[in-house]
Amino acid sequence: MTDTPATTAPLAQARIAVIGYGSQGRAHALNLKDSGLDVIVGLRKDGPSWQKAIEDGFAVAEPSAAVAEADLVAVLTPDMVQPELYRTAIEPNIKPGATLLFAHGFNVHFGQIKPRADIDVVLVAPKGPGALVRREFEIGRGVPCLFAVYQDTTGHAEERAKAYAAGLGGARALLIRTDFKEETETDLFGEQAVLCGGASELVIKGFETLVEAGYQPEIAYYEVLHELKLIVDLFYEGGISRMLEFISETAQYGDYVSGPRIVDDATKARMKAVLTDIQDGTFARNWTEEYKAGLPNYKRLKQADLDHPIEKVGKALRARMPWLSATAPAAKPA
């Protein structure tokens, strides 16, 4: 972590090119602009976000043109399009001594992008989706940010990274120093083993177990999926101790004696195998090859999830709960 105060001053005279205008890109651009920084958005002229960025008050240009006039270039496009974007629009146009910034270290860490030697390369990763990054900024708070320096050509890479994080509102909360390796590998592991892969599979297997035992699918849905939000909110507010404080003693006892039966040492061993695949580059190679092949396995696996009975049951039940639409995430996935 860092206790050094961070301000936007090191970027006060800089032009920042935000490349990409999805959930994170739009939040970054708006927060930086509202922090008093000079922002241009780089987009394809025929892309769907071009007009939206103009309506939001930004100067907009093709990525190569935006990069050419920028002192800091923030790459906020999906991981798999970044190598080609770097090769065609960034590498030939970024000024010597400029800063190249990523919000995820994937491509640099795994060698998909090899930055020019005459630029600074840094990372600023807010620990929240774009909608939250924007919302917290608007109410005067901020989302904690990780920051890292991969290449410091000018001697100013770290102060520029921290200034960018301050512009996002991250310095209002917490800035945590890391490196590209740690950020990339822990982020991929968290998504795969716990937050997305682990949680969704746990929910699906719990649903199947109850339905196969003869219980109503609607009740199974509520017990293993709908009520999960209540538990996660307590985790978010105060960790495991907060969750235990607000559940019954019966639920606590069940937690203590049954949790380790479901997630045991064998599960942890498989988690370690997942982490090894991330660390040695196996996952990155497989994902890159999958993307280049046109995503056949990705599409098949995604459709299987969408076709699962829990989705049909959930859709019908959520239609009876109109209040959920008021709390649904504002951002669509990239």
Both tokens assigned to 331: 């951002």
Give the torsion through C-alpha atoms of 74, 79, 81, 84, to 10 deg: 70
Marked catalytic residue, from 104, 156, 226, 308: 104
Are the C-beta atoms of residues 191 and 156 closer than 8 Å to each other? no
Report the amino acid identity of residue 220: A
In the residue annotation, 104 being an active-site residue is answered as: yes
> In whole angstroms, how far apart are CA 176 and each of 3, 131, 255, 304, 319?
9, 21, 32, 38, 41
DSSP type of residue 174 = -
> In whole angstroms, how far apart are CA 41 and each of 46, 225, 333?
14, 39, 20
DSSP type of residue 9 = G
Are the C-beta atoms of residues 28 and 73 closer than 8 Å to each other? no
Q: Which residues are annotated as a binding site for NADP(+)?
A: 21-24, 44, 49, 130
Q: Which residues are annotated as a binding site for substrate?
A: 248
2 burial via Cβ count (<10 Å: 0-12, 13-18, 19+): middle
Q: Which residues are annotated as a binding site?
A: 21-24, 44, 49, 130, 187, 191, 223, 227, 248
Report the amino acid identity of residue 106: F
Are the C-beta atoms of residues 64 and 56 closer than 8 Å to each other? no
The residues that are catalytic are 104
